[in-house]
Amino acid sequence: MTEQQRVPAFCTQCRSRCGCEVLVEDGAIVGVEPMPGHPSGKTLCPKGKAVTELVYHKDRLTQPLRRTSPKGAKVPTWEPISWDAAMSEIAGHMGRIRDAHGTEQVAFSVTTPSGTHMSDCISWVERFIRAYGSPNTIYGTEICNWHKDFVSRLTYGSDIGTPDFAHTDCVLLWGHNPAATWLARSIEVQKAMRRGVKMIVVDPRPTLYARRAECWLKVRPGTDQALALGLANLMLKSGRFDVAFVREWTNAAFLVRDDTGAYLRQSDVDPQGDAAVIMAAGSGDDSLLAFDTAGPGQWRADPTKATLMARNQVSTATGDIPCRTALQIFAEAAAEYPPARVAEITGIPEEQLQKAADILADSASVAYYAWNGVGQSATASQTDRAISILYGLTGSYGRAGGNIPGGAARFNDIAGHDLLTDAQRDKALGLDTRPIGPGKLGWVTARDVYDAVLTQKPYPIRALISFGGNILAAQPDPAKAREAFEKLEFHVHTDFFLNATAEYADIVLPVATSWEREGLRPGFDVSLEGMRKVQLRPAIIPPIGESRSDTDIVLDLAQRLGLADVMFDCDADKGHAHILAPSGVELEELKANPEGITLPDSVKLSAYLENGFATPTKRLEIYSEQLLQSGYDPVPTLDAGALPANTDTAYPLRLSSAKTITYCHSQGRNIASLRRLTPDPVLELSLETAEAYGIALHDWVEISTKAGRFIARAKPTKDLAPDAVFAQHGWAVSNSDDAPNPDGNRMATNFNQAISTDHRDPISGSIPLRCSWCDIRKI
């Protein structure tokens, strides 16, 4: 008998990154078990338990392939080629386009590190893209993490932070269901619940936590911004917010000119005027002025809210300048949403709104999280702003029991943001219409790439290099995508399997799973304690067949394209050592301790007390001059026309979507154990709607919108609103023998083919994946 080895590791198949032990016999993985002592190792989800099915799947790509059939062929054909031939051909096309046309004419596509094995390779891939010089990467960030990680910086100066659920008095889950998407975080929420904390859940579906919440706000899809403004209005009207924090650590009292919308500066007024200089907000003539202070940089001893919410006339030599405080401007925007109007828009009863506001006001600390549920709408950016400002009123950001930004130690980022020149960055597709959106970091939308391929404006996209992902199943506009793919001069796809997108590539490269390569994780953001854990997972087994890691692929290409000098000499160890350098953790120490090491320091609480917030004013920004200067509303006002209104009675139902623990994006449909759990796509609908349409459990249903249609199995569900239905994205086909196939469409189950991209968030480019209109019929 062979002795079984237990190798410490962590799973990368979703954001949870669960600590685990991999069981190995005779050089093969035979199972995986939780590692309870690990911050995220209490349990494993079905995806994590299916490791052997994935690694040893009969359909794994094991050698590079070159297309031998025309693009768009019903059944594409391939021939095996060597790695050297494949990489020479790829580097040759990339070098040719770079030299003849410019690197911007090669676009890239990178799958999400939050829900795929790309987690450990993403920084290497991004560094290579920027070293090459392309500002065009389809990243999907505008329908995923952009709002919580980047729009939040317009308010906090940092991302949403890590919720300190271990010490909070109130848990707020807003459009986020960790039971389905982040198992380790779900366990932290459950621990908090056992302590007896209050919980508010904002979700249109009766999720596990919605049913258990002290206050469940069953919001209509796409109306979250009105809800956030309405809750803020209740807190401001009653004066039940953290006045001291708002007064001292936000820009609430800063004066804003009514005529220009800019902050009132020292250069605007008579030195003997009615305002006093805030020293921390600038110096000299550029100093910002605040209303009703006791002196330069000082606040009144009695911080009443009245001085924060006032109008003022500032006298100058040339006349008075009408001004309002930043908080007053926001308060006036929020006042447009009194309880009755919010109830009408969101479907939430007034008494529930008041209950939620009371819980937020009465809780000593609040920890929250918001993700896809609010990030997939045409108002996603200002919705995040409204939620962030509402949260700022609680005074919890950065404090114990709140959301804490930063890590337990400093690490270097090797994603290479400094490698892309300003001139190249300015060429990002869509940046001209969304100047502070994801394009600023080189992350563009799929639609903008398709349009550039098809119209050759503002310049042609000639090649697409895709690292994982399955754009045809995961993004809207699949018909336009197929048309664009057929017109590309060159297309490369790296993946575990041949998927719908890979079938259009000229060369397909076989990628090693995370179990077959090394992976560095500097902090596990499941909790503040988890942020202290640093782990270097070893390769559990050698790569299957000829597969290689994404890191090895980009290092090989970098060498061939003459980029080794900016890719750490194409030595992964040098790159990892650079990441770790500021923390004091040695790479060799991690290699000797595969279970990881725990840092001696903790995530710093209330760090703003020392350096303020990382915003232009050094304060949490209720009013954003950054947004104003880019042509956007500086406070999250909500135009009624931006709400998802039904303009066509032929589509009477709100169409939204939700994730399942079984799958992540388009992955896993070929894994037998997962398919047994969820064999077909599901459409949740209320019991009342099912009865009205004559639909029973498991009936096949066709869902149609103005943009397209798809099919799913019906799941009548208690406590859903009668006017809303919820689908699942990521499906391309169904394996059920009885699945109907309208018009012979093999993408019949693809939810995204029914979503229009015509109406997009003006800041980020997000699209209404969670708030469209549809009709349904039993097939």
Q: For the segment 573-622, what is each residue's pLDDT rounded down to a tens digit?
A: 999 999 999 999 999 999 999 999 999 999 999 999 999 999 999 999 99
Q: What pLDDT was estimated at residue 303?
A: 38
Residue 698 zone, left/alpha/beta (φ > 0; ψ -120 to 50; rest): left
Average pLDDT, integer, range 460-483: 93
**Separation between Cα atoms, residue 366 and residue 403, nearest integer Å:** 8
Q: What pLDDT was estimated at residue 297?
A: 37
User: What's the pLDDT tens digit per position in 93-135?
Assistant: 999 999 999 999 999 999 988 888 998 899 999 999 999 999 9
Q: Residue 110: enclosing H or E segment and its boundaries? A: strand 106-110
53 Cβ contact partners less than 8 Å away, ≥ 6 residues apart: 671, 672, 673
Given a contact cutoff of 8 angstroms between Cβ atoms, the answer to whether 402 and 728 are in contact is no
Other Cβ atoms closer than 10 A to 295: 9
Helix and strand totals (H; E) in the chain = 27, 31
Q: What pLDDT was estimated at residue 277?
A: 40
**Amino acid at the residue 121:** C
Q: Residue 192: enclosing H or E segment and its boundaries? A: helix 183-194
Query: Is 298 a residue whose pLDDT tops 90?
Result: no
> Which of 277-291, 447-461, 655-669 has the least mean pLDDT?
277-291
Q: What pLDDT was estimated at residue 292?
A: 47
User: What's the pLDDT tens digit per position in 707-758?
Assistant: 999 999 999 999 999 999 999 999 975 555 566 666 666 678 999 999 999 8
User: What's the pLDDT tens digit per position in 498-544?
Assistant: 998 999 999 999 999 999 999 999 999 999 999 999 999 999 999 99
**Separation between Cα atoms, residue 491 and residue 465, nearest integer Å:** 6
Please give the share of the chain, as a percent, with pLDDT higher than 70.
92
Location of structure tokens 């909500």: 638
User: Average pLDDT, whole number, for the chain?
Assistant: 92
Query: Is 646 a residue whose pLDDT tops 90?
Result: no
User: What's the pLDDT tens digit per position in 152-176?
Assistant: 999 999 999 999 999 999 999 999 9
Given a contact cutoff of 8 angstroms between Cβ atoms, the answer to whether 156 and 613 are in contact is yes
Q: What pLDDT was estimated at residue 291?
A: 53
Q: What pLDDT was estimated at residue 280?
A: 35
427 burial level (CB within 10 Å; 0-12, 13-18, 19+): buried
Average pLDDT, integer, range 32-58: 96
Token code pair at residue 245? 């924090």
Average pLDDT, integer, range 349-356: 98
Please choose, from the candidates 14, 44, 252, the residue with its C-alpha nearest in 3D space to the C-alpha of residue 114: 14
pLDDT-derived band of residue 283, with 50, 70 and 90 as boundaries?
Answer: very low
pLDDT-derived band of residue 271, with 50, 70 and 90 as boundaries?
Answer: low
563 Cβ contact partners less than 8 Å away, ≥ 6 residues apart: 128, 131, 132
Task: Say whether 352 sits in a helix, a strand or coil.
Answer: helix
Q: What pLDDT was estimated at residue 300?
A: 37
